[in-house]
Amino acid sequence: MRLLNRTAGRISRHRRGRLAGVVMLMVGLVLTGGLYTVFAPAQADSAESDAALVAEGRELFLVSCSFCHGKNGEGVLTEGGTQYGPSLAGVGAASADFQLGTGRMPLARPGQQVAVKTPVFNDDEIEALSAYVASLGPGPAVPDESDYSVEGLTAEERQEAVTRGSQIFLTNCTACHNFSGNGGAMPRGGAAPSILGTTPEHIYEAMLTGPGNMDVFSNGNLSPEEKRDVIAYVSQLREQPEYGGFGLGGLGPVSEGMFAWLVGIGSLVGFAVWIAAHTTRSTKQPSKGADA
Amino acid sequence: MSVDTSKVADTNAGTAATPKKPGKAGVVANWADERLGLGTLMKKNLRKVFPDHWSFMLGEIALWSFVVLLLSGVFLTLWYTPSMGEVEYQGSYNPLRGVEMSEAMASTLRLSFDVRGGLLMRQMHHWAAMLFIASMMIHLLRVYFTGAFRKPRELNWVIGSLLLLLGTLEGFTGYSLPDDLLSGTGIRAADGFMKSMPVVGTYMSFFLFGGEFPGESIIPRLYTVHVLLIPGILLALIAAHMLLLVYHKHTQWPGPGRTEENVVGFPMLPVYAAKAGGFFFIVFGVSALMGGLLTINPVWKFGPYDPTKVTAGSQPDWYMGWPDGALRIMPGWESHFWGVTLSWNVFLPIIVLPGLMFTILMMLPFLESWITGDKRDHHLLQRPRNAPTRTAVMVALMTFYGLMWAAGGNDIIAIKLHLSINQITYFMRAAVFIGPVIAFIITRRWCISLQRHDEQKLLHGYETGIIMRSAEGGYSERHLPVNETEAYTLTAREREEVWTPGDETDANGVPAKRGRFDGLRAKLSTLMYADNVQPVTKEELEAAHHHADHEHELQASLDGQPADGHQFDGHHAVDGENLRGDH
């Protein structure tokens, strides 16, 4: 302490010196400038790269999307007044990320059901396109992994999340996607797709944006935690073993009936033929010439 | 076979024969016989003869799967709780732990996850139920297609139809017991079906549910119906069905030595008992394999029933699929009068149609005997082709059933075949009417063609596949007569006569009794018989043989030569005979 006091004292001795004001000014300027160089340039770069990303996205958009969605994403109407491609203002990055990431867009051909296929764009391009779509108007952003992950929860909380998720899933999702997530029919050739191969991120985005015939489950409807719970339950469905054996496609009684007839009755009738074909002869005698 | 004479006394000398000391089994059998009189009963029935044919074993599948149902069902009752009392599930299936559900559902989950072998038993029970009804239906088809329902077996047909109806109801009540989302949806639908009935519907629904749906009574009530009422009636009817089978004796296919008066086959003991007993183990084994390997009704995925929830793929079990299909393709017709809605869209397909179809099914034997006027006993079966109109009627009914059935799975067809569910529905609306008519016409003509083929075979022999070249250079295929067994079998059927209303007056000028539907009956009889090919007469056969003999004379030079046309017909052995001489 004495040493410290002495040093402080030594500095303090000069505090009223002639150069003190100048030195302090210099220190202040250097500090401010130093801090500025640490923080400010990063922000400037990020803004620049955002703009670059949007610009890159716009280039991709003009090539691959504008034919249906318009050069500014304003949508295209057919002569009949129906939508050729809807306006993308306000659909948000989440929607673009979902449609592009699951390969639904760009559309191979218009129809009742948008087909899922291998994505045409890579992750960087999808990010750029999403950024461009997001720039058209405010909309839901691409969710962060922490939004749908149950990593941070304790085992007990996780189990509760799965249970809550199962009830939300059965109330809101199974009517179209089926009890095991295998999908179901929609009117006029449409279909609620199987969600067993969909990534958690895309399930979250689908709930948030309601692609195709699907309802929008906004955060007011299903809170982010509830969405996370649904995803936890779907993951559970995917990971848990088929307790009863081969699942028969998880389609309900129709496939069960098919198996009852083809496997059950088929094999039993086969056995009946087999039993009836065996007469009571105990020792097989070699046939010596057929009866004339 | 020579008689073993070593045990027969050949002299009066020596000691008298004494009976051997009876074995242990003999003592027991004697004890029982002296008190129960089983000997007389068994002497007759243990030697009872059953004819052997694979199609006679289809009913057995139903019988044995019913036994599997009884066995596995008893196991299930030991753990199942038929109560709608609310509990919080705390079993070992994690995703549902903490969820409120009925005790019925909780105990079903307990059976599935916490009782050793419980899931296997549940699945075996369910698969066996599917097989039970399916095998009753294929048995029904066999009986119908072969004419085994004719006098004296009409009542057994009716009993069998009732078994099918009761089996279906039994299946539906069992399907409802777990109180999961799927079965609850089914009960809700059944509630709607009942309420579609004019006037009485609502009362019946309230009576069944003990108030408004779902109430708290339906599960316990269905349980009683499922484990006591219907199985009791089923057992009684199965007993009656089989007693009548024993009383009537089994039908048989015609053939040499088989007549309307006898039954040719194997005795109950040891042959048929072994075959039938073995078949039980096969049915049990198939049910067990299916129960162990194939998921059926995964209630844990459905979760407990909650009227606010529903799942895609909500279908009844397959045997209720066809009325469900009728319901799905029915246009949405409703009538409103005096403030009352009459839902034709529900009432017609699900209440009227199944009742109508079932009545038609039960009436089939009586309709046929009325049309044909045939009141004789029949114990020899007919091949389906020899009753073209009858066969065509059943194929038309099957087509109707199959199309309705497919309509019941329209959503699954739509997603699996990438079709529009609407287009499937429109197609089915027309197909259920047009399809059976087309099937009727095709089947009837097909049968008649097969009859003609049989006639050809009898009169001109079968095609040997050997092409003969005549001296003039013309080619013809050689036909050879069928062997006697086959000829007998092909001709062993009755001539059919188209029923015609008699004269206006009888021989004494008294007006004859005329039925109101005589005209219709005559028309139906014409449809039934007029186009059929009648069995070949003796004269026709002889004439044909004479003709054939003549041809054989022409070809006689070939007999004894290689390729005389008998290489492949089993008429004589061909060992050591070369088709093309020695090279």
Q: Average pLDDT of each block of 10 consecutive residues along chain B (583 residues)?
A: 61 69 84 86 84 92 97 96 95 92 96 95 97 97 96 95 97 95 94 94 95 92 96 97 94 91 87 91 97 95 92 93 96 91 94 96 95 91 95 97 96 93 96 98 97 91 83 84 87 87 72 78 90 88 78 60 56 59 50
Structural domain of A66 = 22-142
Q: How many CB atoms lie within 10 A of CB A195?
A: 22
Which of B127, B79, B126 lies closest to B105 in space, CA to CA?
B79
Fold type of domain B49-382: Cytochrome Bc1 Complex; Chain C (1.20.810)
* Domain co-membership, A116 together with A165: no
- Chain A residues inside the 8 Å CB shell of B174: none
Dump pLDDT digits (tens) for A211-266. Answer: 988 999 999 999 999 999 999 999 999 999 999 999 998 899 999 999 999 999 99
CB of B412 closer than 8 Å to CB of A254: yes
What is B363-380 written as a DSSP string? HHHHHHHHHH---S---B
In which residue are the tokens 């998880």 written? Answer: A250
Q: CA A14 to CA A9: how far, in whole Å?
A: 9
Q: Which of B301, B480, B485, B577 to mutate to test the interface with A (most CBs of A within 10 A)?
A: B301
- A275 found inside a domain: no
CA B232, B236, B237, B239 dihedral sign is positive
Dump pLDDT digits (tens) for A141-152. Answer: 999 888 888 888
ipTM, two decimals, is 0.87
- Chain A residues inside the 8 Å CB shell of B401: none
In which residue are the tokens 């083929």 written? Answer: B453
Please answer yes or no on whether A170 and B306 come within 8 Å at the CB atom. Answer: yes
CB of A173 closer than 8 Å to CB of A124: no
Which of A64, A83, A71 lies closest to A129 in space, CA to CA?
A64
- A44 found inside a domain: yes
User: pTM for the complete prediction?
Assistant: 0.85
Please answer yes or no on whether B53 and A182 come within 8 Å at the CB atom. Answer: no
Please answer yes or no on whether A244 and B290 come within 8 Å at the CB atom. Answer: no
- Between A50 and A191, whose confidence is greater? A191
- Chain A residues inside the 8 Å CB shell of B56: 276
pLDDT of residue B540: 86
* Domain co-membership, A41 together with A59: yes
Tally the residues of chain A.
Answer: 292
Which helix (H) or strand (E) segment holds residue B425: the answer is: helix B421-460
Please answer yes or no on whether A256 and B318 come within 8 Å at the CB atom. Answer: yes
- Joined together, the tokens standing for residue B257 give 């030595």
- A40 found inside a domain: yes
- Chain B residues inside the 8 Å CB shell of A276: 52-54, 56-57, 275
In which residue are the tokens 């280039």 written? Answer: A59
CATH number at residue A130: 1.10.760.10
pLDDT of residue B583: 47
- A1 found inside a domain: no
Q: Pseudo-torsion of CA B35, B40, B42, B45, nearest 10°?
A: -150
- A237 found inside a domain: yes
Tally the residues of chain B.
Answer: 583
Which of B363, B396, B384 lies closest to B532 in space, CA to CA?
B384
* Domain co-membership, A119 together with A35: yes
CA distance B463 to chain A (A): 18
Which of B128, B127, B106, B102 lies closest to B115 in space, CA to CA?
B106
* A142, A165, A200 - which closes a domain: A142
The gap from C-alpha B317 to its chain's centroid, in whole angstroms, comes to 18
Question: Residue A191's beta-bridge partner residues?
Answer: A185
Which of B73, B508, B265 lies closest to A276 in space, CA to CA?
B265
DSSP annotation of B197 reads S
| Partner-chain residue, chosen from B58, B311, B421, that has the shortest CB–CB distance to A185 | B421
- Joined together, the tokens standing for residue A148 give 């749908």
Q: Which residues, 6+ apart, have CB-to-CB distance to A136 below 8 Å?
A: A72, A73, A88, A89, A90, A91
* Domain co-membership, A82 together with A175: no
Which of A248, A244, A232 lies closest to A167 in space, CA to CA?
A232
pLDDT of residue B411: 94
* Domain co-membership, A86 together with A118: yes
* A242, A259, A283 - which closes a domain: A242
Give alpha helix (H) positions in A173-246. Answer: 174-177, 200-209, 224-239
pLDDT of residue B441: 97
What is B4-69 written as a DSSP string? --TTS---S-SSPP-PPPP-HHHHHHHHHHHHH-HHHHHHHHTT-EE---GGGGHHHHHHHHHHHH
| Partner-chain residue, chosen from A112, A178, A247, that has the shortest CB–CB distance to B295 | A247
Among chain B residues, the shortest Cα distance to A186 is held by: B421
For chains A and B, count residue pairs whose Cβ atoms are closer than 8 Å. 224
* Domain co-membership, A122 together with A148: no
CB of A148 closer than 8 Å to CB of B270: no
- A271 found inside a domain: no
pLDDT of residue A18: 76
pLDDT of residue A36: 72
Confidence class for position A1, pLDDT limits 50, 70, 90: low
CB of B414 closer than 8 Å to CB of A191: yes
pLDDT of residue B279: 95
Residue type, B155: L
CB of B104 closer than 8 Å to CB of B110: no
- Chain B residues inside the 8 Å CB shell of A236: 94-95
DSSP annotation of B96 reads G
- Joined together, the tokens standing for residue B446 give 């097909």
Among chain B residues, the shortest Cα distance to A235 is held by: B95
Which of B96, B81, B418, B124 lies closest to A179 in space, CA to CA?
B96
* Domain co-membership, A130 together with A37: yes
CA distance B278 to chain A (A): 9
- Phi/psi region, residue A258 (left: phi>0; alpha: psi -120 to 50; beta: rest), is alpha
In which residue are the tokens 């407990």 written? Answer: B304
- Chain B residues inside the 8 Å CB shell of A183: 312, 415
Helix, strand, or coil (residue A72): coil
* Domain co-membership, A27 together with A101: yes
| Number of domains comprising chain A | 2
Please answer yes or no on whether B61 and A267 come within 8 Å at the CB atom. Answer: no
CB of B129 closer than 8 Å to CB of B320: no
CB of B9 closer than 8 Å to CB of B17: yes
pLDDT of residue A3: 59
CB neighbour class for B189 (10 Å; exposed up to 12, middle 13-18, buried from 19)? middle
Among chain B residues, the shortest Cα distance to A234 is held by: B95
pLDDT of residue A12: 65
- Chain A residues inside the 8 Å CB shell of B312: 174-179, 183-185, 192
* A118, A142, A166 - which closes a domain: A142
Section A21-43 average pLDDT: 75
CA angle B515, B518, B522 (to 5 degrees): 155
| Partner-chain residue, chosen from B97, B315, B573, that has the shortest CB–CB distance to A290 | B573
- Chain B residues inside the 8 Å CB shell of A178: 311-313
pLDDT of residue B244: 95
* Domain co-membership, A113 together with A165: no
* Domain co-membership, A123 together with A169: no
Q: Which residues, 6+ apart, have CB-to-CB distance to B443 below 8 Å?
A: B388, B391, B392, B395, B396
- Joined together, the tokens standing for residue B429 give 């609306």
Among chain B residues, the shortest Cα distance to A169 is held by: B309
Q: Return the exposure string of A143-177: e unless at least 16 CB atoms fall within 10 Å of the residue's CB, then b.
A: beeebbebeeeeeeebbbbbbbbbbbbbebbbbbb
Among chain B residues, the shortest Cα distance to A281 is held by: B271
In which residue are the tokens 């040499």 written? Answer: B256
Q: Return the exposure string of A278-291: e unless at least 16 CB atoms fall within 10 Å of the residue's CB, then b.
A: eeeeeeeeeeeeee
Please answer yes or no on whether B58 and A264 come within 8 Å at the CB atom. Answer: no
* Domain co-membership, A148 together with A86: no
Domain extents for chain B? 49-382, 447-502+515-558
CB neighbour class for B578 (10 Å; exposed up to 12, middle 13-18, buried from 19)? exposed
Residue type, B228: L
| Partner-chain residue, chosen from A159, A180, A185, that has the shortest CB–CB distance to B414 | A185
What is B73-129 written as a DSSP string? HHHHHTT------EEE--SS-GGGTT-EEEHHHHHHHHHHHTSTTHHHHHHHHHHHH
Helix, strand, or coil (residue A19): coil
Pairing type for strands B49-50 and A191-192 reads unpaired
* Domain co-membership, A104 together with A197: no
| Partner-chain residue, chosen from B300, B421, B570, that has the shortest CB–CB distance to A290 | B570
CB of A250 closer than 8 Å to CB of A184: no
Question: Residue B102's beta-bridge partner residues?
Answer: B86
Please answer yes or no on whether A261 and B318 come within 8 Å at the CB atom. Answer: yes
